[in-house]
Structure formats: structure tokens, C-alpha cells
Chain A
Amino acid sequence: MLQSGRVSGLIYLLIVAASALYFIKRGEKGNIPEIRRVSGLDAIEEAIGRATEMGRPVFCSHGISGLSDATYGPQTIAGLSVLNYVARLCARYATRVIVPVRQVSVYPIAREIVETAYKLEGKPEQFRPEDIVYLSGFQFGYSLGYMSLMERERAGANIMVGAYWAESLQLSETGARVGALQVSGTANTHQIPFFVVATDYTLIGEEIYAAGAYLSKDPAMVGSIVAQDIGKFIGIALIVLGVIVGLSGTNYIVKLLEM
């Protein structure tokens, strides 16, 4: 019944998932774990405040992937959670938020998130549907449109959280050129170096997945972040054990993981 070679993976998945559920329930009961500050996420409010003072718009994008891909869909979800937070703050401060979109399937979701944020802040009349911009399905058509929008509108802040590929440097360099305070984040490891050198704050890998929980400050959501650490501890233990067992000349750990 179980696929061979995937048993250990399934056990690991179940442990992490069960831990997440356990800590969510603990969080609901008020046991909120203390988590470290994530400077990139704290900087979002600063970036929006700065853009507001400058009278410039805030750009917020959620990557170029859709929602369906197994590896990149979660990054888009994380980016949309950040968009939700950004849109609420922008609505509160009466600052324009421009959302460049590449995936048509995400376009209506992004639009609804921003529209609802304005409604929830009691300013539905300030919502500008034309600021949720579907640019192009082509990667570089999107990138070019995004860059020219930032130049034209003189972006005051540029917040990019999601799955980015080759356009990451194009967007962040353009943001730097127009003087925007930039917060970036991706789990695409090959693009992280570009974001690190070209933007002011960068969320690395797992930090973007924690963004929704961190920004919402919801106890249950914050609690779930602990499950990531449980997974890490198991990983570290396996690595250490693997090294020790490997040095003793056997490969039991490898065999165990190949189950």
C-alpha cells in the first residue's frame, strides 16, 4: 500500500503536520510561544510609512508563480498573505497600493484582497481597481511592465514576497534606482543572493511562510511556527546521527531514510 522509498518522508511529514496542529491548539488556549523578530517583516510598516510621508505609492507583488504548483504555490499564498497586511495598512494611511500581477488565476484573488482591505478599513471609495494591474503572462513582459510602472509612478516602497526567478534583480535594481525602500522575500534559493544585494530587507526561505502568521499576530497561527523548529530538530538529529553512524562504517541512517 505504501510507496517504497517514501515511507520515511511520510513519517516526517506526519510528525511536522501533527506538531503544527498541536501548537495551533496550544496557541488557541493562550500558550503563545516567543518568536524572534523578523526585521524584514517589521520593516514593512516602516516602508509604507515612508512612502506615505513621501506621497508616493507602495508596490506590493506576490511573485510570478500561480497557486497550483507544489513547490511555488505556497510561496504565492505567503505573498498574498503579505499583500493582505500591506493593503490594510495602505488603506489605513490612505496610500496608493499598486499590485502588479503575472498570473491570471491570481489576479481576481489579489483584487479581492485589496478591495476587501479597503472595505474593512471603512474606505471602500478609495479602492482603485486599476491599481491591481495584470501586466503579462510572459515572464519578461511582466518584469518590463513592473519596472516601467515603478519608474513612472516613482514607487516609495516596493514589497516583493513570493516565488521570483530571473526578474528578481531587474525589479529590485529598478526599485533601488527610483529610491524605494524595498522588502523582498523568496524561497527560491537561487534568487536570494540577488535580493540580498539589491534590496533593503530580505526574508530568506522559511521566513516568508511564517509571514502570514507573524503579521496576523494570531496566537494559533504564531503557535504553528514552532512546528517548523520541531522539524528542524529532527533534521539536525538525523544529520548528526548520520555522520556518527557513517563514520563507524555503516549506512543504517541512509537505509532508514531510503525506506
Chain B
Amino acid sequence: MAWYKRVEIPIIITAICALIQILPYYFTLGASVEDFQATFVNWQMVVGTGATFVGAIAILQLHIPRIMKRRPQWEYSTALVAMFVIMLIFGLPIRELGLGLDNSVFEFLYGNVLTPLSSTMYSIIAFFIASAAYRAFRARSLEATILLVAGSLLLLKNAPIGTAVWPGFGTIGDWLFNVPNMSTQRAILIGGALGAIVLGVRAMTGYERGYLRGGGE
């Protein structure tokens, strides 16, 4: 195997980069190390921005063949590619040609297409919460009953009409939120942080290889 394909290389890079970020958090290492750390962050942003092109190519690779071969729902792919090209052209940072983020077409599409679409997608969650609650909140067992009762009490606490009918819903809801909820959240948070530390140790020492190609084999 060529040396540059060896799985040890990404592991070593991971360990070095992690240490460069971790050490200045705990130790005062002087301005030069902080600058070096900041440079690393800039590199990461540059690499990340460069990766945008990978995304653009991947999207086109997916949708253009679908249009060419008239696969099911190719019409949507046409709309996607058309919008992709329009946003790309009008968003190009060439002020001399009137293009860029201030361009009126770009602003129009951003404000009148992307914004309402994003808000719509977000608001769909309200419908899904309702259907998920209806489906899942059944008193099938003791645990499910606790979930059902706690969920219902918090619904009544959050709805102004609930606290208007009986202020006690507010008190009970606040207690549920501040005591059982908070202690559980903290426990999960601490457990999660410990899990992340141990995973970090495994990744930096090369034991965790599942995220590398084929488990690093």
C-alpha cells in the first residue's frame, strides 16, 4: 500500500490537531501558540469552504443524470438545478457587474423564496409534534404513563389557557421542568461528555477506526 494511503496518517493528523486545540484551553502558552491555534482554525474554515465545491458537484452528479434519463420526479431536479444556477450566478461576488449578496435578484430569492421555505419547514414540526404525541402518549406501561402525565402537565403549563384556568399547572410544570427534567438533563450531559472524552482517546490513539474507511482495514 502506498504510504499516503496508510490509515495511520489521518489518525496522527487527528491527534496533532486535537492537541493543538486542547492544550491552549488548559495552559497559557503565549501569544505565538494562540496565533498558531487561530491559524489552524482558519485553515479548517478554508478547507471547509473548499469542500463546498464537493457538495455542489455531488448535487449536480445526482440530479443531472436524473433529468437526462427522465427518471421519476425529474421535474423537481430541473427546478433544483435551475435555482442552483440562478443563485450561483447572481450571488457571485463581482460588484462591477452588479452581482453579489446585495444583488436585487439574489435578495429577492433569498427573502421571498428561501426564507418562507425555511420557516415553512420549521413550522411543519408543530404538526409532527401533534401526530407523534397522539401516537406515542399511550398509558401502556408505568413508564409510558409517567411520560403521558408529565407531558400533559407541561402542555397545560405552556398553554396560557392552562395557567389561566388553574395557576397550579404553572407551579407543577415549573417543578417538573426544574427538578426531574433538569437532573436528567445534567446526568445525560455528564454521561455524554464522558463518552466523548473516551471516544476522543480512542480516536487519538487509533483504536476507534470505525469512522475511517472500512474500519481502518
State whether A221 touches B133 (Cβ < 8 A). no
Cβ of B22 to closest chain A Cβ, rounded Å? 8
Asked whether any CB of chain B lies closer than 8 Å to the CB of A74, the reply is yes
Q: Answer whether residue A59 sits at the interface, using C-beta atoms and an 8 A cutoff.
A: no
A244 within 8 A of B: no
Is B48 engaged at the interface, CB distance under 8 Å to the other chain? yes
The answer, among B125, B198, B201, for a CB contact under 8 Å with A170, is B125
Contact of A231 among B25, B125, B128, B194 (CB under 8 A): B194
- Which of B88-96, B98-106, B164-172, B207-215 participates in binding chain A? B207-215
B143 → A minimal CB distance (Å): 10
Tell me if B190 counts as interface (CB < 8 A to partner A). yes
Known: A6-B25, A113-B213, A137-B55. A206 touches B195 (CB 8 A): yes
**Shortest Cβ distance from B191 into chain A, in angstroms?**
4
Interface size, A (range): 35 or more
**B142 sits at the interface (CB 8 A):** no
Pick from A68, A112, A136, A187: contact of B48, CB below 8 A. A68
The 8 Å CB contact of A116, one of B188, B189, B208, B217, is: B217
Which secondary structure dominates chain A's binding surface? helix
Residues of B in contact (CB 8 Å), total 59
B58 contacts which chain A residues (CB < 8 A)? 104, 107, 134
Known: A187-B195, A228-B198. A144 touches B188 (CB 8 A): no
Partner of B122, one of A13, A76, A133, A166: A166
Taking a contact as CB atoms under 8 Å apart, the answer to whether B28 and A104 are in contact is no
Contacts A120-B217, A134-B59, A205-B189 known; A227 to B118 CB distance under 8 Å? no
- Select from chain B the residue with minimum beta-carbon distance to A70: B21
The answer to whether B194 and A16 have CB atoms under 8 Å apart is yes
Q: Which residues of B contact A112 (CB under 8 A)?
A: 213-214
> What is the bound-complex CA distance between A77 and B197, given in angstroms?
12
Contact A120 B191, beta carbon cutoff 8 Å? no
CB within 8 A of A169: which of B125, B194, B200?
B125
Q: Which of A1, A76, A120, A232 contacts B190 (CB 8 A)?
A: A232
The answer to the question of A183 belonging to the interface, with a C-beta cut-off of 8 Å to chain B, is no
Interface of B is mostly: helix
Evaluate contact between B189 and A209: CB separation under 8 angstroms.
no
Bitwise interface map of A from 64 to 81 toward B, beta carbon under 8 Å scored 1, else 0: 001010110011111011
B28 near A1 with CB under 8 A, answer: yes
Distance between B51 CB and nearest chain A CB, rounded to angstroms = 4
B27 within 8 A of A: yes
Knowing A20-B202, A74-B199, the reply to whether A2 touches B26 (Cβ < 8 A) is yes
Of the candidate stretches A30-38, A45-53, A211-219, A250-258, the one touching chain B is A211-219
Q: Are B201 and A197 closer than 8 Å at their CB atoms?
A: no
Whether A109 is near chain B, meaning CB under 8 Å from some CB there, is: yes
Instruction: Tell me which residues across on chain A come within 8 A of B44, comparing CB atoms.
Output: 68
Within 8 A of A (CB), among B169-195: 185, 188-192, 194-195
For B196, give the chain A residue with the smallest CB separation. Answer: A74
In this complex, what residue of B is CB-closest to A85?
B210
- Contact yes or no, B197 A16, CB < 8 A: yes
Measured CA separation A104–B48 after assembly (Å): 8
Chain A residues near B215 (CB, 8 Å)?
Answer: 84, 216
Complex CA–CA separation, A172 to B201 (angstroms)? 32
- Expressed in whole angstroms, the Cα–Cα distance for A204 and B205 within the complex equals 25
A-B contact pairs, 9 of them (CB 8 A): A2-B27, A20-B201, A74-B199, A84-B215, A107-B54, A117-B214, A197-B133, A209-B192, A209-B196
List 10 extra interface pairs beyond A20-B202, A169-B128, A224-B198, CB under 8 A: A6-B25, A80-B211, A113-B213, A116-B214, A136-B59, A205-B191, A206-B194, A218-B207, A231-B197, A235-B194
